[in-house]
Amino acid sequence: MAAVGSCAPDAEKVVTTAVDTAGLTVRWQPGPPLSGTLAASGPVPGGVDRFLRAVDVELAEHNAHRSRLRLRIALHFGDPATTRALLALPALADALDEAPDATLAVLVSDQVPRTARPTPAFHRLHRHTTSRWLWVPGWRPAHRQSPTPVWR
């Protein structure tokens, strides 16, 4: 998991609270961006889905009472450097640019089990033989005609 927000301390607090709410643990990696390894603290079904929904709720709670925070999150099973690279993909930032009212954009790699993605809410981004899954709560990419758009 890697995340970047408009205010790093607030982003860390929102993500940490969501990790706890989802019944997960996180082992933070040093340095920016905020990144860490998520693990279940016990038998938690749907841990990734629970985490993403908890982030959405915690972010809404934060924004209701404090300055507006926008988060980009990337999820990947594997090398932390790959996860941080996913966080930098233009498709993730573009989604927030296209949805100015949105405060959360999540990119999930194809290495994350399909059962971890709430299917209708995620948009598949396809490039060559690889897929990524994009979720921006409450947003649908109006300009994209194809159900499997290509990312840059």
> DSSP of 8-39, one letter per residue?
HHHHHHHHHHHHHHTTEEEEEESSSSEEEEEE
Q: Provide the β-strand partners of residue 134.
A: 107, 123
Choose the weakest-confidence range: 14-23, 51-60, 130-139: 130-139
- The first and second tokens of residue 8, run together, are 């790093």
Over residues 120-141, mean pLDDT: 75
Residue entry with tokens 């993500």: 15
Given pLDDT bands bounded at 50, 70 and 90, which one contains residue 152?
Answer: very low
- Let me know: does 107 contact 132? Beta carbons within 8 Å: yes
Coil/strand/helix, residue 126:
strand
Q: Provide CB contacts within 8 A for 105, sequence distance 6+.
A: 71, 72, 73, 92, 93, 95, 96, 99, 134, 135, 136
Alpha-carbon 54 to chain mean position: 11
pLDDT tens for residues 28-79? 887 778 888 888 766 555 778 888 889 999 999 999 999 999 999 998 888 8
Mean pLDDT of the chain: 80
Mean pLDDT of 137-147: 59
